[in-house]
Amino acid sequence: VPLSVGRSVLEMRLQDNGLQALRNEVTRRSEELGRALSGLEEKHPGRQPAASEQAENDRRLQSRENAVDAMAQQNVRARLNASLQQTQQVERELRDRLHELEGQASRFAADFREAMRLTAEMRKREREVDEMRDRLNYLGTERNALGFVRLITPALPAETPQGLGKTRLLAALLAVAALIGLTLPMVLDVLDRRVLVVGDAERAMGIGSAGWLVKVKDEATRSLAEDQIRRLASTLVRNRKRGGRASCGFTSARVGGGVTTTVLDLARTLTQLGSRVLVVEANSLSGASSLALTGAGLCGLLSGEATADDVVCQHEHGGTALSIVPFGQDDSNGLRRLDRLRDALDRWSSNYDLVLVDIPPLLPSADAEMLVDAVGQVFLVAEAGGVSKRDVARARQVLQKLDPEAVGLIVNMVDFDAAGSHAAAHLVETITGGRFQNFMTLSHLRLQFELLRMRLARRRANR
């Protein structure tokens, strides 16, 4: 029973006359039986009926009290249910009224917005009507005026001319065009995030390049590229003689960096110089299509199907026979048992002067990190025009995390036109065997003019 109505239940119990009379009668009879029982022994014949009568009186009193309590609780429950139903009815009515008021508020808001729009429209129309009325009044006054005359006179020439003038305007246009011509290439160069020259790769890598290779377009650039390959080969030979490792890894930041071609060209040049060179194709992303070799290969070596001497085969590149370890057939997800690769590298290092390992691209391949750790020293080949400065910086961070024994940088596929004047001088001196100043009898601008004139003459001749 809630505390708020507990007092009412107690009053109903105390004010019940029948219960009070029964309680008085039981009390009186209990006192009489108590006095009677106080003088009787346990074995007295009259003690048991008196005790039974007293227990029966107590049971009747308890039963009557329970009945009164049940009736009081039923009455309280009926009152509380009535109050609950009344409260719920009031809540439903208030909720319905609230919904009705909310709907009215929405309609009133819409009506208010419409009223504001109509008020603005009415004020606009009133202004227009006032303007039209003023104009009509003006026309009526003009029509009724006497001697009203309009005077129209041509404009007089200006006493002092204003403006920049033709000469200044032309000079300003030329200055703006020159400024755009100077700033536009710089802006485009700043916005271009690709590696275009050797300096871009060196700044992104944080180290100087061990060498750079020009993009082969004709016989002249091919001759320059061969000379640069020989320089890289001599760098590897000097490093080996100074106590460096025989095994060198070559990787790139992204797929298609020209690593395989660079490794084969280096192996061909080193072989021509008299070094014993072995090329290990460990690039699973290239598919070994450039080698076109069959056999167990590197995968067979790592799986235990072949030994380090069994997987070595011969391959011809540029007219020179090279010792190659092809990649082989790999049905698994990534290279396995790199401990066997370390043993094989030790075996090959004892049989060959240099072991060139073609490693997968560093960023997209997880095998590249494990191979770099196994080889020990690595060259990052950055393709000019094909890789961004951000990719080279990310490759540098990966190499810093791996911390190999030695790291080098090779910039590949550098455009000859973007290489600078020193590349042209190097090319001329390599081909002619003389000084660049003696060969260049014309200045650079005069040379470009003569080339343009020659192209125009050839085009007219073809027509």
Query: What are the tokens at 125?
Result: 């129309």
Task: Provide mean pLDDT across the span 219-244.
Answer: 85
Residue 120 has phi, psi (to 5 degrees) of -65, -40
Does the pLDDT of residue 146 top 70, yes or no? no
Among residues 305, 307, 371, 308, which one has the least CA distance to residue 334?
Answer: 371
Measure the CA angle with vertex 330, ends 328 and 303; round to 5°: 85
Positive or negative, the CA dihedral 72, 74, 79, 84 is positive
- Per DSSP, the three-state class of 248 is strand
Query: What are the tokens at 463?
Result: 């027509």
Task: Provide mean pLDDT across the span 366-370.
Answer: 85
Does the pLDDT of residue 153 top 70, yes or no? no
Please tell me whether the overall predicted TM-score, pTM, comes out greater than 0.75 for this model. no
Q: What is the pLDDT of residue 147?
A: 57
288 pLDDT tier (thresholds 50, 70, 90)? very low
Instruction: List pLDDT tens digits, range 384-393.
Output: 888 888 889 9
Q: What is the pLDDT of residue 277?
A: 92
Q: What is the mean pLDDT of the chain?
A: 82
* Contact yes or no for 302/308 (Cβ under 8 A): no
Q: Given the structure tokens 């951000």, which residue do they identify?
A: 390
Task: For the chain, report the end-to-end CA distance as a whole number of angstroms.
Answer: 116
Pairing of strands 247-252, 320-325: unpaired
Instruction: List pLDDT tens digits, range 170-207.
Output: 888 999 999 998 888 788 777 778 888 888 888 888 88
Q: What is the pLDDT of residue 127?
A: 94
Measure the CA angle with vertex 303, ends 300 and 305; round to 5°: 55
CA–CA separation, 382 and 388 (whole Å): 9
Positive or negative, the CA dihedral 326, 327, 331, 332 is positive
* Contact yes or no for 260/249 (Cβ under 8 A): no
CA–CA separation, 72 and 449 (whole Å): 121
Of 104-113, 150-159, 194-203, 224-233, give the range with the top mean pLDDT: 104-113
3-state helix, strand, coil in the chain (%, to 5): 60, 10, 30
Among residues 298, 437, 290, which one has the least CA distance to residue 375?
Answer: 298
Q: What is the pLDDT of residue 331?
A: 53
Residue 429 has phi, psi (to 5 degrees) of -70, -30
Positive or negative, the CA dihedral 20, 25, 26, 27 is positive
Q: Which residues contact 112 (CB under 8 A, 6 or more apart)?
A: none
The H-assigned helical ranges of 44-163 are 47-144
Task: Provide mean pLDDT across the span 297-319.
Answer: 84
CA–CA separation, 245 and 275 (whole Å): 15
Q: 30 or 124, which is more confident?
A: 124
CA–CA separation, 284 and 271 (whole Å): 25
CA–CA separation, 266 and 114 (whole Å): 83
CA–CA separation, 269 and 318 (whole Å): 10
Q: What is the pLDDT of residue 40?
A: 66
